[in-house]
Structure 1
């Protein structure tokens, strides 16, 4: 495939030692590597968890589990060729089993395997998938995808740069996982285990404060309600925030507002008065995925409302620290009770009566606040480190767009698609 007249195939960003090097050469994926689907393995032979003498098993959507057999040993990019995530690219290292729904990529002699992996990611292969119910991507189509390659020395330089970024991203992800593990362990010590009224770990000023009090939520005289089914009439493109189960997460007690919906209420709508959120409210999912907890802090826009799948619990702030209760309800002790106390039936659900029967164990209001502040500080640290991880991933994505030139073209028999990679340089 020839370049356009007057153009040279160049990335937007090039390392200094290669600025006078030859332009990249147009190539199809087939010219850079060999592609071959893996081998069938029975689902009965795939373990969910890793064990000694088992090897990772990759299918169309990534890691399927672990098997005693392996089809390859070494470093290979893998392309998922069937399933919702077909076109996904990952790097397999060591011994692994690739199923028939994964394509194993073997670089040709002048192709650096690590550079090839990053190149395949930039090609966004999912856009070439066909089929609706079960998307698929054939080897023949992948082979015809247009691409480009520099000399091997420049490939190695690009691969080393991006691999070092991958190392930073992996280290940052491990740091976050370590913080989450620390928080989980701390919560197990800060809250009494089931059947007890004293925690294993207590702040010095409360070590002589006595046992915690067992209560049902209803004993604390809170306001408890949930949304109704009539909200569809008020949906709007803009207006007041409408909180749904998707805004609750098991990762944090704070609401996730990245995907928001809005409602516009009439002034006389009584539903708005009853279900409007206030700061310090505790939210509990009561249908489908039961027991996801949310805490309404000052960052939640006002007014905001809830749908029928969420219970709202509002405590007297002079008697109960709502943030403490939120953390208590996400503890493993409480989550076990959620699972055990859900209403029977074909569809999982929890009534407001059952919500009021949920058991909590409370120390004094000052100790509640101390524990809540401690865990909130950890949450803030996890959030900050997660933002750093996101920034690293965004930086890598932008860098890849500049390190790989834009390549136009369409595999034979396929529809058109936008150019992928970076911006082509002028001659």
Structure 2
């Protein structure tokens, strides 16, 4: 073997240094990271509740441990309660049930100060040994699914025992955990955890702000539109206090329906005429992260216009029937599929808000029945509403549309924070080099 081949082989076998892309200034000269097995950092906890008084817990994937009372509205532990595994503050609970986001199971950190407990049938519990590692640091590794990347090498597809994944504890404890080296390891771990905890607090605050705005809009709509069996709203804008009674009308007198396009897989193209489907309606807005295109010259396509209201009228999921979104002015050339319809209204913003009311939702639910997953267009045009004169319609629409814009802006800010956290975690942890079996 010549020297050139030897050099090439040496480079091929050399593993990259284990170091995150981003480090805090005070740790940049602290050297490369290392890996330790999870088993060297934690110990399995098998202590059962017995005669202790504990809070029975359940788990929500991606969220963490929540009390059974909060999740189910009652405690479901029953007679098995005394055999539950006991949890103390900063203990971990590994739920061996597969979910979409965590197919190898979810590991949650218990942060409560009171004793808690989880079912011993589907949970493995463990706690950090002394000061071997910072629990919050490990928690963020598990939220990033470090354990799942490792355990998928050992879990047989479909291997389940009593509804849970068949996981060998030895395989779990063999998980390589990336850690900073040296005497300042714990300090760097905690610095990383504190940074992400602060970001999580911002996300929670922003999420509450969005939720508050949505609740405010819901309450406002209950005041601005007549309630069931009522013919007048509870609240009117000052300039319309003496504008006369609202009157009942049907949807068909407020606009027209535009039928959707029937197309086949052979008609689909990489680009061209966008076909809007149910997946393009999200939270009352048009989303373009899942697009289908057809030839612009296809026959039977009715082009959408700005302020058309896109409605889902047929779908495998009943929950999507009746969902709607306004076509914005900056949309690319588009039409809509046969399972959708367009309502082209004289007062589109007002009608769109009507579609968010309980009266509309009740009429949609009444049409679906036990087995029907569609709304008939002729029936949709017969939906009844109590409405004011056009000037008051526009005033209501303007108010609610500006509130929608505020909700959208705050929701986008929330998504930006979440994406920032994901990107930050990818830089703070050297993930992918430590999970190969």
Smaller-chain TM-score range? 0.7 to 0.9
Judged with a 3 Å threshold, the aligned counterparts in structure 2 of structure 1 residues 226 and 199 are, in CA distance, closer, same or farther, namely same
Choose which of 378, 390, 404 in structure 1 pairs with 2:415: 390
Choose which of 158, 165, 170 in structure 2 pairs with 1:140: 170
Give the C-alpha shift of residue 227 in structure 1: 2.1
Give the C-alpha shift of residue 410 in structure 1: 4.8
Q: Distance in 1 between the 2:384 and 2:358 partners?
A: 13
Indicate the SS of the match to 1:163. helix
Counterpart contact for 1:215–1:361, Cα < 8 Å: yes
* TM-superposition CA deviations, 1:376-413 (whole Å, max 9, x none): 1111111111222222222222222222235624554x
- 1:256-405 equivalent positions in 2, closer than 5 A: 256-266=287-297, 269=299, 271-272=300-301, 275-288=302-315, 289=318, 290-302=321-333, 304-315=334-345, 317=346, 321-342=347-368, 344=369, 346-405=371-430
Partner of 1:180: 214
- State the TM-score, normalized to the length of structure 1: 0.80
* TM-superposition CA deviations, 1:207-261 (whole Å, max 9, x none): 11112121111233x3224325444442222111111112123x22x21222211
Q: Distance in 2 between the 1:38 and 1:378 partners?
A: 52
Give the unaligned 5+ runs of structure 2.
1-12, 49-53
Judged with a 3 Å threshold, the aligned counterparts in structure 2 of structure 1 residues 137 and 256 are, in CA distance, closer, same or farther, namely farther
Counterpart contact for 1:231–1:307, Cα < 8 Å: no
Give the C-alpha shift of residue 131 in structure 1: 4.8
- 1:114-193 equivalent positions in 2, closer than 5 A: 114-127=136-149, 128-129=151-152, 130-132=155-157, 136=165, 138=167, 139-150=169-180, 151-193=185-227
Give the C-alpha shift of residue 6 in structure 1: 9.3
Partner of 1:420: none
Judged with a 3 Å threshold, the aligned counterparts in structure 2 of structure 1 residues 105 and 331 are, in CA distance, closer, same or farther, namely farther
Partner of 1:101: 122
Judged with a 3 Å threshold, the aligned counterparts in structure 2 of structure 1 residues 283 and 9 are, in CA distance, closer, same or farther, namely closer
- 1:236-255 equivalent positions in 2, closer than 5 A: 236-249=269-282, 251-252=283-284, 254-255=285-286
* TM-superposition CA deviations, 1:144-186 (whole Å, max 9, x none): 2322223212222221111111111111111111111111111
Q: Distance in 2 between the 1:405 and 1:261 partners?
A: 37
Give the unaligned 5+ runs of structure 1.
40-52, 413-427
Counterpart contact for 1:57–1:96, Cα < 8 Å: no
Counterpart contact for 1:60–1:102, Cα < 8 Å: no
Partner of 1:416: none
Indicate the SS of the match to 1:408. helix
Counterpart contact for 2:309–2:326, Cα < 8 Å: yes
Give the C-alpha shift of residue 5 in structure 1: 7.2
- 1:176-255 equivalent positions in 2, closer than 5 A: 176-220=210-254, 222-249=255-282, 251-252=283-284, 254-255=285-286
Judged with a 3 Å threshold, the aligned counterparts in structure 2 of structure 1 residues 134 and 255 are, in CA distance, closer, same or farther, namely farther
Q: Distance in 1 between the 2:273 and 2:202 partners?
A: 40
* TM-superposition CA deviations, 1:69-105 (whole Å, max 9, x none): 5642423344443223334444333254434334434
Identify the range of structure 1 (61-70 vs 291-300) with the bigger mean alpha-carbon deviation: 61-70
Choose which of 89, 96, 121 in structure 2 pairs with 1:81: 96
Q: Distance in 1 between the 2:432 and 2:367 partners?
A: 57
Give the C-alpha shift of residue 123 in structure 1: 4.7
Bigger relative contact order (CA 8 A; separation at least 6): 1
Identify the range of structure 1 (161-170 vs 89-98) with the bigger mean alpha-carbon deviation: 89-98
Indicate the SS of the match to 1:287. coil
Q: Distance in 2 between the 1:282 and 1:258 partners?
A: 19
Indicate the SS of the match to 1:83. coil
Indicate the SS of the match to 2:214. helix
Give the C-alpha shift of residue 35 in structure 1: 4.8
Give the C-alpha shift of residue 120 in structure 1: 2.3
Give the C-alpha shift of residue 358 in structure 1: 0.9
Indicate the SS of the match to 1:323. helix
Note if 1:91 corresponds to 2:109: yes
Indicate the SS of the match to 1:178. helix
Q: Distance in 2 between the 1:214 and 1:37 partners?
A: 66
- State the TM-score, normalized to the length of structure 2: 0.78
Indicate the SS of the match to 1:26. strand
